């Protein structure tokens, strides 16, 4: 199971409980939630099931919840930090970005750019 943008899930007490239970080392884990919408209930979607799935949590920042809760989740898994250099980001974006003028302009100024992302290129193109 993949939880992308997990900051939203982690902010909710029920979400933190869910993440902690799914990152336990037991081979089979219980996936459950306390409430559901009327539509899900009407469709017969269960409120719990067992899974042997591995869990991937994707987050831009892992600085939410209490330190004790973060440490518990980190203890259950493997932390992979993705923090590429600006040049690596620029080169990857060059594979698909369509505006050579903006690509070259930003490429010449990589040393001055903080928090470079694909959005930087898109926003520059939108303002052009």
User: Tell me: the pLDDT tens digits for 2-11?
Assistant: 888 888 888 8
Count of CB atoms within 10 A of residue 102's CB?
A: 18
| Element housing 18 (H / E) | helix 13-22
**Do 69 and 34 fall into the same domain?**
yes
Whether residue 29 is found in the same domain as residue 72: yes
pLDDT confidence of 40, banded at 50, 70, 90?
A: confident
**Domain identity same for 19 and 52:** yes
- What percent of the chain clears pLDDT 70, i.e. is strictly above it? 95
The helix/strand/coil state of 4 is: strand
16 and 57 inside one domain: yes
What was the pLDDT predicted at 54? 85
The secondary structure of residue 28, as a DSSP letter, is S
Query: Do both 95 and 33 map to the same domain?
Result: no
In a domain, 81, yes or no: no
Q: 3-class DSSP state for residue 49? A: strand
Average pLDDT over residues 78-102: 94
| 70 within 8 A of 6, measured Cβ to Cβ | no
What band does 63 get if pLDDT is binned at 50, 70 and 90? Answer: low
Give me the domain span that covers residue 49: 2-76
Whether residue 8 is contained in a domain is answered as yes
């Amino acid at each position: 199971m993949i939880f992308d943008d997990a900051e939203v899930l982690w902010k909710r007490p029920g979400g933190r409980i869910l993440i902690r239970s799914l990152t336990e080392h037991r081979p089979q884990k219980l996936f459950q939630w306390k409430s559901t919408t009327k539509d899900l209930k009407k469709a017969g979607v269960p409120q719990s099931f067992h899974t042997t799935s591995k869990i991937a949590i994707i987050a831009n920042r892992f600085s939410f919840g209490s330190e004790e809760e973060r440490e518990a989740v980190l203890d259950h898994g493997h932390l992979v930090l993705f923090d590429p250099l600006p040049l690596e980001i620029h080169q990857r974006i060059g594979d698909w970005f369509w505006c050579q003028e903006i690509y070259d302009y930003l490429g010449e100024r990589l040393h001055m750019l903080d928090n470079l992302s694909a959005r930087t290129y898109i926003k520059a193109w939108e303002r052009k």
